[in-house]
Amino acid sequence: MTVSHASMLYLWIAWRFYDGAVFYPASLADVGPFFGRVWEQIVTYASPTWSTFAMYWTFLGVEGLMAAYLPGLKIRGLPIPSRNGKRLVYRCNGVTAWYLTLIAVAILHFSGVFPLETVYEQFGAFMITAMVSANIVAILVYFGAKATGNAERMSGSFLYDFFMGAWLNPRIGALDLKMWAEVRVSWLTLFLLTASGAAHQFATYGTVSTPMVFMVVAHFLYTNACMKGEECIPTTWDIFYEKWGWMLVFWNLAGVPFVYSFSSMYIASRPPFEHSVPFTVFCFVLLFGAYYVWDTAQSQRNRFRMQLNGSYVKRKAFPQLPWGTLHNPRYLDTDAGSKLLVDGWWRYARKIHYTADVLMALSWGLICAFDHFLPYLYVTFFVVMILHRAGRDISRCKEKYGADWDRYCEEVPYLLIPYVF
**Each residue of 185-211: pLDDT tens digit?**
999 999 999 999 999 999 999 999 999
Any bridge partners for residue 171, and if so which? 176
Residue pair 391/370 in contact (Cβ under 8 Å)? The answer is no
Distance CA 257, CA 105 (A): 17
Indicate the pLDDT class of residue 319, thresholds 50, 70 and 90: confident
**Quick count: other Cβ atoms within 10 Å of Cβ 416?**
19
Distance CA 287, CA 186 (A): 20
DSSP annotation of 48: -
CA Rg value for the chain: 22
For 52, 177, 372, the CA distances from 65, given in Å and listed in that order, are 20, 11, 41
Indicate the pLDDT class of residue 81, thresholds 50, 70 and 90: confident
- Mean predicted confidence (pLDDT) in 170-191: 95
Name residues whose C-beta falls within 8 Å of residue 250's C-beta, 6 or more positions apart in sequence. 1, 4, 131, 134, 135, 138
Residue-wise pLDDT tens digits, 115-173: 999 999 999 999 999 999 999 999 999 999 999 999 999 999 999 999 999 999 999 99
Residue pair 119/193 in contact (Cβ under 8 Å)? The answer is yes
339-345-349-354 Cα dihedral, nearest 10 degrees: -100
Distance CA 6, CA 131 (A): 11
319 preceded by a cis bond (ω within 30 of 0) = yes
Amino acid at 406: D
Residue pair 51/159 in contact (Cβ under 8 Å)? The answer is no
Residue pair 306/312 in contact (Cβ under 8 Å)? The answer is yes
- Mean predicted confidence (pLDDT) in 339-363: 96
Indicate the pLDDT class of residue 401, thresholds 50, 70 and 90: very high
Residue pair 151/166 in contact (Cβ under 8 Å)? The answer is yes
Q: Closest by alpha carbon to 161, among 134, 181, 142?
A: 142
**Global pTM exceeds 0.85:** yes
